[in-house]
Amino acid sequence: MHRRRFIRTALLAGVLASRRWWTGASTGRPLLVDADTANEIDDLYAIVWTLLQPDAHVVGLSSAQWNHRLSPPDTVRQSQRLNEDLLHLLGRRDIPHPLGAEMIMGKPWGGDEPRDSPAAQLMIRAARRMPPGEKLVIASLGAVTNVASALKLAPDLIPRVSCYILSGRYFADRGVWDKDEFNLRNDLNAANYLFNTEGLELHVMPVNILYDFTFRLDEVMERLAGQGGVWEYLATRWLTHSPSSETWIMWDLALMMALFRPEWASQRRVPTPPENVRREVHVYTDVDEAAMRAGWWETVERAQAAAR
C-alpha cells in the first residue's frame, strides 16, 4: 500500500483513535529518541510503543543515518520520512522531529570532528533546558552520530544527559567487548567518543542478549493487519521490508522497554573496552523476553480498545 494512503487512513481512523488513547499527561523524564527508522522493522515498533506510554515525556524524535557501503545515499532522509509518517499516524506532530546528520563523525579512518545537524542542535537545546540536577534521556536506536556530535559541540551537556544506546556485543561471562556490530560500525568514531567521554552516563544494550526476543510474522498479521492507521502501517512495513522473514528480533523495542520498565531487564557497571578511556559504563546483561512481548501486546490492545 502506498505511504500516502496510510496517511489518509490515519486521518480517518488512526489519528483520532490515538488521540483518545493519548492522555496528554506524562510523569517520566524528558526523553529524546534518535532512530535510523528506515533501516529495518523494529525501529518503528519501538517508536510507536514509546509514544503510547502514558508516562512518556518525549521531547524529540530525530532521524539517524546508517551510511555503510551497501546503503542508499540518503539514509537519514529515509528515516526522517518514516518518523514523520509515524507522528502523523499517532497524532503527535507536536513532537519536534529534526533531521540528523547523513555522514559519520570525523573521517572513515578516525577522528571526532562533529557533524552538526538540526538533531544535534535540538539535543543541545533540550539538555540545556533541564533543571539543575536533572538529566535529559537520549535513546539512540542506530549509529550514535547525532548525540556524540551534540556532546562534542557542547561539552557542557555531559552532566546534563544520560545516553542509552543499542550497540556492540558484550559477553558478561568473560567481560569481553566486540565492536563488530551494525550500529556501532556505522559510526565507530562516534561510539568511541561516547565510551571515551569521562563523566557521561552511558547505558549500553548489546545485541547478543536479544536473539530470543522475537516477534512472529503470523501473529503480527493476525493482530495488526486490517486494523487501520498505525497498526496497518506496522504490519505492512514488515511485508515490504522483509516478507520472507517469519520472525524478527525486536532489537530497538527492547532498549525502549528496558528504559521504561527497568524490571524487565538487568544491567551492571562494567569497564569500557580496553582500547577506550578506562571508566565504567552501564551494560544490559539480560532481558525478560516474555514480559516484553506481553508488554507490547498489552499496549496494542489498550490502544485498539480506546479506538472502538
Looking at residue 237, its pLDDT comes to 97
Q: What is the mean pLDDT of residues 253-272?
A: 98
Looking at residue 306, its pLDDT comes to 87
pLDDT greater than 60 at residue 291: yes
Predicted confidence band of residue 307 (pLDDT cuts 50, 70, 90): confident
pLDDT greater than 50 at residue 48: yes
Looking at residue 16, its pLDDT comes to 34
Q: What is the mean pLDDT of residues 145-169?
A: 98
| Cα–Cα distance for residue pair 291/264, rounded to 1 Å | 7
Tell me the percentage of the chain whose pLDDT exceeds 70.
89
pLDDT greater than 80 at residue 21: no
Task: Tell me the CATH class for 3-307.
Answer: alpha beta
Looking at residue 137, its pLDDT comes to 98
Q: What is the mean pLDDT of residues 186-211?
A: 97
**What residue ranges do the domains of the chain occupy?**
3-307
284, 166 contact by CB (below 8 A): no
Q: Give me the chain's average pLDDT, please.
A: 91
Q: What is the pTM of this model?
A: 0.91
CB atoms inside a 10 Å sphere around CB 23: 9
Looking at residue 18, its pLDDT comes to 37
pLDDT tens profile 75-130: 999 999 999 999 999 999 999 999 999 999 999 889 999 999 999 999 999 999 99
pLDDT greater than 50 at residue 148: yes
φ/ψ (deg, to 5) at 140 = -105, 120
Looking at residue 27, its pLDDT comes to 52
Give the residue with greater pLDDT, 3 vs 210.
210
Looking at residue 1, its pLDDT comes to 38
Looking at residue 71, its pLDDT comes to 52
pLDDT greater than 60 at residue 17: no
Strands (DSSP E) along 55-210, which ranges? Answer: 57-63, 136-140, 161-166, 169-171, 176-178, 201-205
CB atoms inside a 10 Å sphere around CB 52: 19
Looking at residue 195, its pLDDT comes to 98
Predicted confidence band of residue 28 (pLDDT cuts 50, 70, 90): confident
pLDDT greater than 90 at residue 7: no
| Cα–Cα distance for residue pair 52/22, rounded to 1 Å | 7
